[in-house]
Amino acid sequence: MHQLSNKIAIVTGAASGIGKATAELFAEHGARVVIADWNQPAGQAAADGICSRGGQALFCSTDVSSEEDVQNLIRSTLSAFGRLDILVNNAAVQVLAQATSTSVEDWERMQGVNLRGVFLCAKHAIPEMIRSGGGAIVNMASILGFVGDPDLAAYCAFKGGVIALTKALAITYGPQGVRVNAICPGDVATPMVEEFFNNAPDPEHFRQDVYSKYALRRIAQPREIAQVAAFLASDASSFMTGSVVVVDGGLTSKCY
C-alpha cells in the first residue's frame, strides 16, 4: 500500500464506520485525505485524529446529494492539495421499510445520498482526475445490490444502481486513465448496523442469528473493508476496472 504515498483522496461518509476506517488507513499509507461528511463534529474529529497521528487530513462539510456541496468539496480539495487522485464514494443512509411501506420522502432521501451522491461526486471528480493523468474511484455498493432484503427495498434498489453506474463509468473513462470499481460488503460493524441490531426485540439473539448465516460466523470490521478499498485505490489493482468485489464472509455463497 506504499502506492498510496502522496496520493490525494476524498472519502465521503468518513465521519464514522467504513468511511472513517478507510480515511485512517489511507492516511497511514501516506495519502492526504479529505473527509467529506454532513456530520461536522464527527467529521472534524476524524480529521483531527488523523493529523494527531502524523497524517494529513482536512474535513469538508458535505451533503453529497447536493451538487453545490459536491462542487465545493472538489474546489476545497484542489485548493488544499492541487489535484485529486482517489475518490471513495462511501456515504449512505438506510431506512428499514418494505416497498409498500416506503414513503416517497424516504425514497428520495436514500436516492439522493446512496445513488445521486455517487453520480455527483464522480461527475465532478473525473474531469480533475483526467487532468491529473488518471485516478481511481471506489464505490461502496452492497451485497444488497444483487440479492434482496424485504425490509430494505429502496436500499437494495440504489445499491444495485451503484453497481450498474460503476460499470458504465469504468467503460466510459477507462481510456482516459480513470479506473472505477465497487465493493459489495455484507454486514459490517458500523453505527448503522449496530442501530439495526439494537432495534430488534432481542438484540443479542438477533445478532447471533445474523452471525450464524456467515461462513466465518461473524460480520466484518470496518477496517477489513477499508483494506479492500486501499487495494482498489492503489496501483496494485492497476488492471482492475468495472469489477464488483464481494467482501461478505461467505454469506452469498450458499442457497440455504
Q: Which one from 155, 173, 214, 256 is the annotated catalytic residue?
A: 155
**What are the tens digits of pLDDT across the range 80-106?**
999 999 999 999 999 999 999 999 999
Nearest to 137 by CA among 14, 232, 227: 232
Query: What dotted CATH number matches 2-187+221-249?
Result: 3.40.50.720
Q: In percent, how much of the chain has pLDDT > 70?
A: 99
Say what the pLDDT of residue 255 is. Answer: 85
**What are the tens digits of pLDDT across the range 180-224?**
999 999 999 998 888 889 988 999 999 999 999 999 999 999 999
Which is it for the CA torsion 194, 200, 201, 202, positive or negative?
negative
Q: CA-CA distance, 84 to 166, in Å (whole number)?
A: 19
Active site residue 214: no
Nearest to 170 by CA among 161, 178, 160: 178
**What are the tens digits of pLDDT across the range 184-196?**
999 999 988 888 8
Report whether pLDDT(1) > 60: no
Query: 59-68, 116-125, 136-145, 183-192: which range is least confident on average?
Result: 183-192
- Name residues whose C-beta falls within 8 Å of residue 132's C-beta, 6 or more positions apart in sequence: 83, 84, 85
pTM of the shown model: 0.96
Say what the pLDDT of residue 2 is. Answer: 63
3-class SS letters over 164-202: HHHHHHHHHHHHHCEEEEEEEECCECCHHHHHHHHCCCC
Rounded to 5°, angle at Cα 7 from 114 and 56: 90
Please say whether the beta carbons of 138 and 183 come within 8 A: yes
Say what the pLDDT of residue 22 is. Answer: 98
The better pLDDT of the pair 254, 52 is held by 52
Over residues 249-253, the mean pLDDT reads 96
**What are the tens digits of pLDDT across the range 25-70?**
999 999 999 999 999 999 999 999 999 999 999 999 999 999 999 9
